[in-house]
Amino acid sequence: MGDAGRTVVDVPRIDKGLDNVYVKETSICFVDGVRGRLLYRGYDIRDLADHSSFEETAFLLLWGRLPNREELARIRADLGAARAVPPAVLASLRRMPKDAAPMDVLRTAVSLLGMHDGDRGDASPEANRRRAVRLLGSVATIVAAYHRIRSGARLVKPDPARAHADDFLRMVTGTRPGASQTRVMDVALILYADHSMNASTFAATVAASTLSDLTSTIVAAIAALKGPLHGGAIEAAFEALRFIGRPEAAEAYVLDVLGRHGKVFGFGHRVYKTYDPRALIFQRIAKELSEAAGDPDLYRVADVVQETVVRELRAKHIFPNVDFYSGLVFHYLGLPPDLATAIFAMSRTAGWAAHVIEYWEDNRILRPLDHYVGPTDALYVPLEDRS
C-alpha cells in the first residue's frame, strides 16, 4: 500500500520505556542510584527507618516537612478513624470470591471507596492530602479484612488508638503483635512509602493529568503495581526462596536460572547501580527475625541466592532490590506471602498521593505519541467480498 497519507516525521526516535525521559521536577523523593541513597523530602531513608514512624513519614511525604506534635497527633487520629472503613465497603469484601487475588480486591475496594468519599467536590491540595490520609487508613483495613474473610476468621475491628503498623498486624493476624514486630512492620511501611517516578506512580500521574480525582489515580497505581515487573516481584521472589527450600540448593538454582537466561526476581533496578539501601535494611531485619524465630533456613537460602547473583552478574551491576528480602520479612511477621504486594500498596499510597498532588500544582495532560507504521490507505471491502 502507498504512503500517500503519511505526514509524520519519517523515523522518529522511540523512547522505549521512557528510560531517560524526565517527566517533571519533584521535591518528594531522590534516588541516588550511584551512592545507594534514598531520600524522602531530603531525609535519608536510613534515618527515617531508625527514628520515624509510618504516620510521620506519610505526613512528611504529603506535607513536605516533619510534623510537629499536634500535626502528628492529628494524622494518627485521622488514620485511625479512616481504618473504620464504610460498612458498604466491608460488605463488598464479604461478597468477593474467596480465591481472588488480593490486588484485585484492593483495586476494586479502593475504587468503591471513591463513591463513599465525604467531600468529593473539593480538589484543593489540602483536601487531597486529607483524602490521601483517609485512603491510607482504609487500605490497611481492606487488606486485613479481606484476608480474615477469605480465611473464614472473624473480622478484627480497627482500634483508632493504636499506631497504624500495630493495628494492621492486629487486624490481619487477630493477635496483638509484640513491640518488635510492630516496629518491623512500621519500618517496612516507611521503606515502601515512596520511590520517585516508578511505574505505578507514573500510572497515577497519567490518570491525574486529565484532572481525574485522587481516588482514580490510586486505583490506576494499584492496577500498575500488580504486575510481576513491579510490586508483584515480592511474591515471585519469595516463592522462589520457598521453592529452593534448602541453603545447599540455592547456588545451583541460581546458576541454572541464569544459564537459561531466566529471571531471578528481586534483583536489578532501572536506577540503582549498587545496593538498594532498603534491601540492606530488609536484609538485616530478615536475619534478625530468622534467628529470633529459630528458623534461619529461608533466610540462608536468600543470602546464598543473593551472593550468587551478585557474584555472577557483577559486571552488569545487578544487586538485590527492595523486593528481594521484604517477602521474607513479611513471612517472619506471620503475614501470608500473597498479601505482600497489597502491603506495598498500603504504604505506597502515601507516595502516590504526594506525587499526584505535586503534579497538579503544574498540570499538563500526559499525551505522548506513537509512531504509526501500518498501512495508510486500506480499502474497505464489503463483507460479502471478503475471503
The residues assigned a catalytic role are: 230, 269, 323
* Cell numbers placing 336: 501470608
**Upper half-sphere CA count for residue 357 (Cβ side, 13 Å):** 25
Q: How far is the CB of 204 from a second copy (least distance, A)?
A: 9
> Which residue lies nearer to a second copy by CB, 17 or 294?
17
> Which residue lies nearer to a second copy by CB, 294 or 362?
362
> Which residue lies nearer to a second copy by CB, 48 or 184?
48
Q: How far is the CB of 293 from a second copy (least distance, A)?
A: 31
> Which residue lies nearer to a second copy by CB, 185 or 220?
220
* Cell numbers placing 374: 501500518
Q: How far is the CB of 160 from a second copy (least distance, A)?
A: 20
**Upper half-sphere CA count for residue 379 (Cβ side, 13 Å):** 5
Gap between the Cα atoms of 45 and 39, Å rounded: 6
Contact between 228 and 385 under an 8 Å Cβ cutoff? The reply is no
Gap between the Cα atoms of 93 and 117, Å rounded: 17
Q: How far is the CB of 123 from a second copy (least distance, A)?
A: 11
Query: Cβ of 312: how many Cβ atoms within 10 Å?
Result: 16
Burial 37-48 (b: 16+ CB within 10 A, else e): ebbbbebebeeb
Gap between the Cα atoms of 360 and 313, Å rounded: 41
> Which residue lies nearer to a second copy by CB, 152 or 374?
374
Q: How far is the CB of 244 from a second copy (least distance, A)?
A: 23
* Cell numbers placing 356: 499526584
| Bridge partners, residue 32, by sequence | 37
Length of the chain measured in residues: 387
Gap between the Cα atoms of 75 and 317, Å rounded: 40
Give the DSSP H/E element, type plus range, for residue 37. Answer: strand 37-40
Is the alpha carbon torsion for 106, 111, 114, 115 positive or negative? negative
> Which residue lies nearer to a second copy by CB, 294 or 374?
374
In Å, how far from its chain's centre is CA 372?
33
Q: How far is the CB of 46 from a second copy (least distance, A)?
A: 10
